[in-house]
Amino acid sequence: MKKQRLVLAGNGMAGIRCIEEILKLNRQMFEIVIFGSEPHPNYNRILLSSVLQGETSLDDITLNSKEWYAANGITLYTGETVVHIDTDRQRVITDRKRTLPYDTFIVATGSSPHILPIPGADKEGVYGFRTIEDCQALMSMAKHNQKAAVIGAGLLGLEAAVGLQHLGMDVSVIHHSAGIMQKQLDQTASRLLQADLERKGLTFHLEKDTVSISGTAQPDGIQFKDGTSLKADLIVMAAGVRPNIELAVSSGIAVNRGIIVNDCMQTSEPNVYAVGECAEHNGTVYGLVSPLYEQGKVLAKHICGVPCEGYQGSAPFAALKIAGIDVWSAGKVHEDDRTTSISIRDEQAGIYKKALFEDDKLAGVILYGDTRDKRRFLDSLLTQRDISIVKKQLFAPEKTDTSFKSMPLSETICQCNSVTKGAIEEAVHTKDLTTVEEVKHCTKASGSCGGCKPLVEDLLRYMSSGEYTEPAGTPSFCGCTDFTEDDIIAELQRKPFTTPAEVMNQLGWKTKNGCGKCVPAIQYYLEMLYPGFIQPEPAAEDTCTLIPQMYGGRTNAEQLRNIADIIETYSIPDASITHSQRLKLSGIRPADLPHIKNDLKIPAYSNKHRRTLQSVRACTCGQNRSIQKLAAQIERHLEMLSMPACISISLSCEADCTAAALQDVGAIRTPAGWDIYIGGVRRTHARSGALFCVTDTAESTARMIKGLIQYYRETAHYEEAVHQWMDRVGIVNIREVLFEEDLRTHLLENLKTDLSLIQKLPLKTGAHKKG
C-alpha cells in the first residue's frame, strides 16, 4: 500500500513531538517531509536561558539529531521555509521555489519575539531571545560590552537577564508593569522574587515604557516615556511573543491571534492542521511546552485514525529556571469575586504558598521558596477534584523519607513528557541507567523544561540507596486490565466518562464486558464522581428479596399487620429476621415487586443490587428510647446511599448491648455524652474500633457520624471496608478533616444533596442517580 505524504512546516519542539507520536502509532502510514527555517535539527528552545547561565551547552540541548531523522525515514530540509499552501491542489511552495504535494499538512511554525516598534530597534546590538543564533550573538556581544538592558520581566526576560549577568555584564531589567512576572505571580510573590534577584545584583526599572533606543550603529541607551533614560550597549527584547501566522494568512486559512483550530487541531481547510505556539484553540494560544505536547499527541491520534476525545485545553504551569530560586505557579494566580484563597508565608525561610479556589475546586497555585509539592498541586488542578475537604492539608509538605517509597508507579515525574515513576524505574532496570542524561535520552524525562531534573536525580539516588526495594509489580485491578485501582480512579477523574462500557473501551480492557469485580467498581466510582450517572438495571432473576426499612429497628403494630397481610396476599414463602434486626422477605416474584413496594407504605430495598447502609442498630435494652430515636434519625439520613462496602453502624447504652465498638462505626452513650468508635471488626479476626472522638449531644453525634460516613464514601476504594480505609488514610488525617467545622459542613451538604437525588428518583431495582 502506497504511503500518504505528510508535510510538516516547522522543525521545533511541538511539531517534532507530533511526529514522534505518529511514529509510535503507525510507522508505515506516512512518508514524512519536514521543513525547518533554522539550519539546525530540533533543539530544546526552553533551555537557551540555561546555556546563557552556564548550566548546559548548545550541544546538550539538541533533542533529535540528524541521524534520528534518517533512521526514521524522514526527509529534512533545514534552512528552508514554506511560504505558501495551495489548499486547492494540496501542495506547498517554499522560499527556494520547491513545490511539494501533500496528503496531510501540519503547520508548526511557532512564534517570534515581539520587537517593540520604536526608533532604534533595528540597531546591531538589539536582539530577541528565541534561537540558537540569538544565544550565540548575546554570548559574543557580552565579551565586548558592559551594560545590558532586558526589556520585559516575564519568565524569558528574567532568565535572559540572569544569563547575561553570568557572562559578566551589569544588567538592568525594564518592565511596563508595577510587578515582575505579573502573569504568573501575585503581588506578594512578585515582590519576593524581585528582592531575591536584586540581592543577586539585578537592577529593576518598573512602570517604564520604552519609546526609543539611542546610539549610532549600535545602541548606547534607552529613553523612556517619562523623560528619563538608561545607558545600555546591549539590549534584549523579551516583551512577549507573537504567533507566526503569516503562512496561514497568505494561504487563506482562518486566523485570529493564532491559527484557529478545533479539538482535533484541524484548521479551516481540510487536511491542514496546526499545533504549538502558532495554534489558537478555543480563543487561547499556549506558549508552554506541556500543552504543546498534549496537542501533538491528540493530532497524532486523529490523523492515524486512533479514537480520542480531542484536545480539551490545558492548565498552564510555569517554573522559573534560575539557580537558587524556586518559583512555580499553575492555573489562576489573581483573585477575583469568584475566588477564595489560602496562603501561608514564612518570611524567615523565604517561603510563600497560595492556593486559589473556585466552587471548592483548586483553580490556581503559587509556590515560592519551596516547590516540592508542585506535582501534587498540579494533579489536583488537572483532575479538578472537589478538594474542599483537604484544604487544611494542602500545605503540609510531603514527608521526604516516604516521598518515593510511597509514591505510586503511575505518578508523573516529568509533566512535559508524561513520564511516570514506573517508566523511569523500568528503564533504569532494563537498560542499566545510572545518570540523569541517560534517563533523559531513554525516557525524555527532564528533556524539555528541565524543571523535573532534581526530582529525577533524587529518584536515581533513592533507587541506588539501601532503602529501595525493587517492586514485584503492582497488581492490576482485575484480570480484565493492567491498570491498578488507583490508575482507574485517576483516569475517571481526568476524563468525563458516562458508562462502564465507555471506560472499558477507552482504557483498553482485555475483555469486552469486564467481570464481576471491575464492572460494579466502575459503576460505583462513576456514581460518586459524575452527576447524572444511573446504574444499569440488573439482570432479571427468578425471585427477589425485599427488606422493609424500619428506622432504628423500631416498628409498630400497624406496620407489622400490614407486612403480615402482604406476606399472605402475595404468597411470600420466606420471612426471617436478619442479624441487623431487620425483617427479610424472600422468594418474591419479580412481577409482584412493584405492587408490594406500593402496598408496604414504607421504604424497602433489595440488598442484592447495591452496597447500602441497610440499618443502624440501636440498643434494645429499653433503658433509653432516645438512643433508638437517634439511630432512626441517622438511618433516615443515610438510607439507600451507595457505599464502597457493606457497612454496620450501631448505637448503644453504656453497657454496650450492641457491641458498638466492634462495628464499622459505633457510638456508646456515657454520662458525659457519646464515645464514637470507628474501624471495628466483629467477624473473624475481630478487633475493637479506635476511639475517634467524644461528643456531648445527640445532635453533634449525628453530625459527626454522618460527616464521617460521607468522607468514607468520597475517599474509600470500592470494597474497602471501614477499618481498611482507616488504616490506609490514617485516623489522624480523618480527624483533621472531620474536626474542622467548615469541612464537616461541606461533607454534610454533599450528603444531603446525594440523599435528595435518590429520594426524587423512582427507585427501580438497583437504579441510582447521583447529581
Backbone φ and ψ of 759, nearest 5°? -65, -25
CATH number of the domain that residue 578 is part of? 3.30.70.260
For residues 756 and 622, membership in a common domain is answered with yes
Query: Of the residues 206, 223, 239, which one is the last residue of a structural domain?
Result: 239
For residues 634 and 758, membership in a common domain is answered with yes
For residues 634 and 699, membership in a common domain is answered with yes
Looking at the domain assignment, is residue 444 inside a domain? Answer: no
Averaged pLDDT, groups of 10, the chain, 771 residues long? 92 95 92 96 90 84 93 96 96 96 97 94 93 93 92 94 93 96 95 95 96 93 96 94 96 97 96 97 90 93 89 85 86 91 86 87 90 78 61 51 60 76 83 86 80 82 76 64 77 75 82 81 78 53 71 73 86 76 77 81 56 69 73 78 83 77 87 88 76 90 91 86 85 84 84 71 34 31
Looking at the domain assignment, is residue 465 inside a domain? Answer: no
DSSP state of 12: S
Looking at the domain assignment, is residue 284 inside a domain? Answer: yes
Looking at the domain assignment, is residue 313 inside a domain? Answer: no
Q: Residue positions in the annotated binding site?
A: 619, 621, 653, 657
From CA 199, how far away is CA 203, in angstroms rounded?
A: 9
From CA 731, how far away is CA 725, in angstroms rounded?
A: 9
Cα-trace Rg, the chain: 32
Query: Of the residues 264, 284, 303, which one is the last residue of a structural domain?
Result: 303
pTM metric for this prediction:
0.64
For residues 568 and 676, membership in a common domain is answered with no
Q: Which three cell numbers stand for residue 265?
A: 487541531
Q: What is the pLDDT of residue 550?
A: 66
Query: Of the residues 605, 625, 651, which one is the last residue of a structural domain?
Result: 605
Looking at the domain assignment, is residue 353 inside a domain? Answer: no
For residues 65 and 40, membership in a common domain is answered with yes
- Residue closest to 385 by CA, chosen among 365, 402, 366, 361: 361
For residues 251 and 230, membership in a common domain is answered with no
The identity of residue 480, as a single letter, is C
Q: What is the pLDDT of residue 219?
A: 94
For residues 639 and 508, membership in a common domain is answered with no
Q: Residue 744 in contact with residue 706, Cβ under 8 Å?
A: no
Q: What is the pLDDT of residue 376?
A: 75
> Could you tell me how far CA 700 lies from the centroid of its own chain?
36
From CA 612, how far away is CA 635, in angstroms rounded?
A: 11
Looking at the domain assignment, is residue 212 inside a domain? Answer: yes
Across 490-571, where does the E strand assignment appear? 533-534, 544-548
Q: Residue positions in the annotated binding site for [4Fe-4S] cluster?
A: 619, 621, 653, 657
CB proximity list for 678: less than 8 A, separation 6 or greater: 664, 665, 666, 689, 690, 692, 708, 722, 723, 726, 731, 734
3-state DSSP assignment of residue 231: strand
CATH number of the domain that residue 642 is part of? 3.30.413.10
Looking at the domain assignment, is residue 342 inside a domain? Answer: no
Q: First vs last Cα of the chain: how many Å apart?
A: 51
For residues 172 and 265, membership in a common domain is answered with no
From CA 739, how far away is CA 759, in angstroms rounded?
A: 29
Task: Give the domain extent around 205.
Answer: 126-239
For residues 552 and 579, membership in a common domain is answered with yes
Secondary element (H or E) of residue 223: strand 219-224
Q: Which three cell numbers stand for residue 674?
A: 457519646
Looking at the structure of the chain, the number of domains it has is 5
For residues 193 and 270, membership in a common domain is answered with no
The identity of residue 587, as a single letter, is G
Looking at the domain assignment, is residue 421 inside a domain? Answer: no
Q: Residue positions in the annotated binding site for siroheme?
A: 657
User: Given its phi and psi angles, is residue 263 left (phi above 0), alpha (psi -120 to 50 degrees) or beta?
Assistant: alpha
For residues 525 and 555, membership in a common domain is answered with no
CATH number of the domain that residue 226 is part of? 3.50.50.60
For residues 139 and 220, membership in a common domain is answered with yes
